[in-house]
Amino acid sequence: MTDDADAAIARLAASDALLVALDFDGTLSPLQDDPMAARMLPAARDAVEALVAAPATVVALVSGRSLVDLRLIAEHDGDSRVWLAGSHGAEYWVPGEGVIRHGEDEADAALRDQLRAHAEQATASLHGVWIEPKTFGFGVHTRRATREAAAQANRLVDDIVAAEAPQWRRRTGHNIVEYAFRHEGKDSAIAELRQRTGASAVLFAGDDVTDEDALASLRSADVGIRVGDGPTAATVRVPDIAALAALLSRLATERSHALR
Domain stops at, among 125, 157, 180? 180
Same domain membership, residue 110 and residue 98 = no
Average pLDDT over residues 71-75: 98
Same domain membership, residue 50 and residue 8 = yes
Q: Looking at residue 183, what is its pLDDT?
A: 86
Distance of CA 46 to the CA centre of its chain: 19
101: confidence class by pLDDT, cuts 50, 70, 90: confident
Same domain membership, residue 86 and residue 9 = yes
1: confidence class by pLDDT, cuts 50, 70, 90: low
Examine the pLDDT at 91 and tell me if it is beyond 70. Answer: yes
Strands 98-101 and 91-94: antiparallel
103: confidence class by pLDDT, cuts 50, 70, 90: low
Q: Looking at residue 132, what is its pLDDT?
A: 94
**Per-residue pLDDT tens over the stretch 39-56:** 999 999 999 999 999 999
Q: Looking at residue 105, what is its pLDDT?
A: 80
Supply the mean pLDDT for the chain: 95
**Per-residue pLDDT tens over the stretch 110-156:** 999 999 999 999 999 999 999 999 989 999 999 999 999 999 999 99
Same domain membership, residue 209 and residue 134 = no
Same domain membership, residue 124 and residue 45 = no
Average pLDDT over residues 221-228: 97
Q: Looking at residue 66, what is its pLDDT?
A: 93
* Confidence (pTM): 0.85
What CATH number corresponds to the domain at position 17? 3.40.50.1000
Domain stops at, among 131, 160, 180? 180
Same domain membership, residue 199 and residue 78 = yes
**Per-residue pLDDT tens over the stretch 231-250:** 999 999 999 999 999 999 99
> Do 45 and 113 form a contact (C-beta atoms < 8 A)?
no
CA distance 9 to 40: 22
Contacts for 150-155: CB closer than 8 Å, 24+ residues apart = 150/175, 152/126, 153/122, 153/123, 153/126, 153/129
Structural domain tally of the chain?
2
Buried/exposed 215-237: b ≥16 CB within 10 Å, e otherwise: bebbeeebbbbbbbeeebebbbb
Average pLDDT over residues 152-164: 98
Task: For Cα atoms 118, 119, 124, give the angle at the middle one, nearest 5 degrees.
Answer: 105
Average pLDDT over residues 209-224: 96
> Domain of 142?
106-180
